[in-house]
């Protein structure tokens, strides 16, 4: 097929006419959401890796901004984070100025004396994120490793506290935790891992505190992306619930190593998910890259390639087995938006009940089948007949998520161009999948034994 406009989402972020991968530097500042992202400013394949930039007032309408931190012939600008340096601890601001500071991985290349090394560097903005300047004495953290990347920095303990960086030693399957008072000098504090799933490299860590819904309990959540070894094959995002004292993360138990970790998403296309910093009111909002390293370079759109997921508000909810797990609620546009389809269903999940939901093009040629199986208490998503599927051998997939032991599930289906997101059990089980139908999947048919599920 030729790549068509109906594949470009209207409420998910895509680059105008280039490549993107991981979200970077997610930041809320002065009423504006900032999304930086791994970007090739010159093409629709991975390369010349720079931080692209977009801004939004509502997380579903994005304005393209100029490239924030551009690759040079000797430095690719890999993933990282950004913070508001409220107290000007870095000294990058003049008196009365609040610097925004980006912490990214320098992947040195070409003629650089550090070629092959990955180290952590800084850039700062003194005009609320519009323009960025590299720190003159980069890198600020170099351990001489070729696999040391994706720093996520946050403030621990408020004004009296300190900066914390979580960063991966990718092939050792561990997260290193460093602390700093000024974002420039970093002191090693501890390691976390190997733990949970280690079938691939560890990438893009995040660490934050979340409330357990309906209680006064708060737990820390360590997020670690993994490629390959994800739950549906290829890349995926695992997480661990535990405790953090400002220096060391201790998981609640060793379930992750015996039964496997919890996953933020059970589809194939939710990777490198990290959270926004600077969000007021204790809200935690995450965003992921809606693709999979298995085939990210082959997806049939042009000239743009890849999309972000919707932003997702997260908290912890106890499952019937007592374990707190992440629940996710998508941020949707307040008004109806042509091209975006949201279905809300309540589906039985008791033994003997099977519900088939078919999302199809008007002529029925391309179809995605979502099956809720009450015996196995699962949802499967079959995209084998969803349109363009043979651009890569692993794409035509049937993927499964388990549901909590409850008699019915609320299922929200969000379809937007080439992205399909399923939020089941009120966001406690999600499946994110790319699809490339020849026309939009405008039709829905629901089939099952009595009683009928309610379609709103």
* Site residues, ligand FRU (CB under 6 A): 21-22, 38, 49, 78-79, 105, 149-150, 203-204, 272
Select 79 or 388, whichever has its Cβ closest to ligand FRU: 79
CB of 433 to ligand FRU, least distance (A): 18
Select 54 or 367, whichever has its Cβ closest to ligand FRU: 54
CB of 30 to ligand FRU, least distance (A): 27
345: phi then psi, degrees, rounded to nearest 5:
-130, 150
Select 85 or 203, whichever has its Cβ closest to ligand FRU: 203
CB of 353 to ligand FRU, least distance (A): 39
CB of 106 to ligand FRU, least distance (A): 10
Select 247 or 295, whichever has its Cβ closest to ligand FRU: 295
DSSP per-residue codes, 54-95: EEESSSSSEEEEEEEE--BTTEEEEEEEEEE-TT-TT--SPT
CB of 105 to ligand FRU, least distance (A): 5
Residue whose token pair is 């551009």: 70
CB of 400 to ligand FRU, least distance (A): 24
In angstroms, rounded to a whole number, what is the distance separating the alpha carbons of residues 220 and 236?
A: 20
Q: Are 231 and 402 in contact (CB under 8 A)?
A: no
Closest by Cα among 298, 332, 336 to 312: 332
Select 150 or 294, whichever has its Cβ closest to ligand FRU: 150
Determine if the peptide bond prior to 139 is cis (ω within 30°): yes
Select 48 or 371, whichever has its Cβ closest to ligand FRU: 48
Q: Are 235 and 289 in contact (CB under 8 A)?
A: no
- Catalytic residues, by residue number, are 22
**Pairing, β 419-424 against β 454-455:** unpaired
Q: Are 93 and 86 in contact (CB under 8 A)?
A: no
CB of 78 to ligand FRU, least distance (A): 3
Select 295 or 319, whichever has its Cβ closest to ligand FRU: 295
Residue whose token pair is 């180290």: 119
Containing H/E element for 174?
A: strand 174-180
Closest by Cα among 216, 166, 180 to 89: 180
CB of 22 to ligand FRU, least distance (A): 5
Select 79 or 430, whichever has its Cβ closest to ligand FRU: 79
Q: Are 263 and 273 in contact (CB under 8 A)?
A: no
**Could you tell me the two tokens for 421?**
């997101």
What Rg, from alpha-carbon coordinates, does the chain have?
21
Q: Are 324 and 406 in contact (CB under 8 A)?
A: no
CB of 51 to ligand FRU, least distance (A): 10
CB-based contacts of 345: which residues, under 8 Å, 6+ apart? 357, 410, 411, 412, 413, 446, 453, 454, 455, 456
At 109 the three-state DSSP class reads coil
Where are any strands of DSSP class E within 276-402?
Answer: 285-289, 312-318, 324-330, 340-348, 354-360, 367-373, 378-382, 398-402
Select 49 or 379, whichever has its Cβ closest to ligand FRU: 49
**Could you tell me the two tokens for 196?**
């949970």
CB-based contacts of 122: which residues, under 8 Å, 6+ apart? 90, 101, 102, 103, 104, 134, 135, 138, 140, 183, 184
Closest by Cα among 233, 245, 213, 252 to 393: 233
């Amino acid at each position: 097929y030729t790549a068509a406009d109906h594949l470009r989402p209207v409420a998910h972020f895509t680059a105008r006419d280039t490549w993107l991968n991981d979200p970077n530097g997610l930041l809320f500042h002065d009423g504006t959401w900032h999304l930086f992202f791994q970007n090739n400013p010159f093409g629709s394949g991975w390369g010349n890796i720079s931080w692209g930039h977009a801004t939004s007032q509502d997380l579903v309408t994005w304005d393209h901004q100029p490239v924030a931190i551009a690759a040079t012939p000797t430095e690719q600008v890999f993933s990282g984070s950004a913070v508001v340096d409220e107290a000007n601890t870095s000294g990058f601001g003049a008196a009365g100025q609040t610097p925004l500071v980006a912490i990214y991985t320098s992947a040195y290349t070409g003629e650089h004396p550090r070629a092959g090394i990955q180290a952590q560097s800084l850039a700062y903005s003194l005009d609320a994120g519009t323009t960025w300047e590299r720190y003159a004495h980069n890198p600020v953290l170099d351990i001489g490793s070729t696999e040391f990347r994706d720093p996520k920095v946050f403030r621990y303990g408020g004004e009296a506290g300190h900066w914390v960086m979580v960063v991966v030693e990718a092939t050792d399957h561990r997260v290193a935790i460093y602390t700093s008072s000024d974002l420039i000098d970093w002191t090693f504090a501890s390691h976390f891992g190997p733990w949970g799933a280690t079938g691939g490299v560890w990438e893009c860590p995040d660490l934050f505190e979340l409330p357990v819904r309906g209680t006064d309990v708060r737990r820390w959540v360590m997020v670690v992306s993994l490629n390959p070894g994800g739950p549906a094959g290829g890349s995926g995002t695992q997480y661990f619930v535990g405790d953090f004292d400002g220096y060391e993360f201790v998981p609640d138990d060793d379930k992750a190593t015996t039964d496997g970790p919890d996953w933020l998403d059970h589809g194939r296309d939710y990777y490198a998910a990290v959270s926004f910093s600077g969000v007021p009111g204790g809200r935690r909002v995450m965003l992921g890259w809606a693709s999979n390293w298995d085939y990210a370079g082959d997806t049939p759109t042009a000239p743009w390639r890849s999309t972000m997921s919707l932003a997702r508000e997260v908290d912890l909810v106890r499952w019937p087995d007592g374990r707190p797990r992440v629940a996710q609620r998508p941020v949707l546009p307040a008004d109806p938006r042509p091209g975006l389809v949201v279905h809300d269903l309540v589906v039985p999940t008791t033994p003997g009940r099977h519900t088939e939901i078919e999302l199809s093009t008007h002529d029925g040629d391309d179809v995605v089948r979502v099956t809720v199986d009450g015996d196995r208490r699962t949802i499967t998503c079959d995209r084998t007949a969803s349109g363009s599927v043979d651009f890569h051998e692993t794409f035509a997939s049937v993927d499964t998520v388990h549901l909590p032991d409850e008699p019915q599930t609320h299922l929200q289906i969000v379809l937007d161009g080439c992205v399909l997101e399923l939020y089941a059990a009120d966001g406690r089980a999600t499946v994110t999948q790319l699809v490339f139908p020849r026309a939009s999947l405008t039709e829905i048919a629901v089939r099952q034994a009595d009683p009928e599920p309610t379609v709103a």
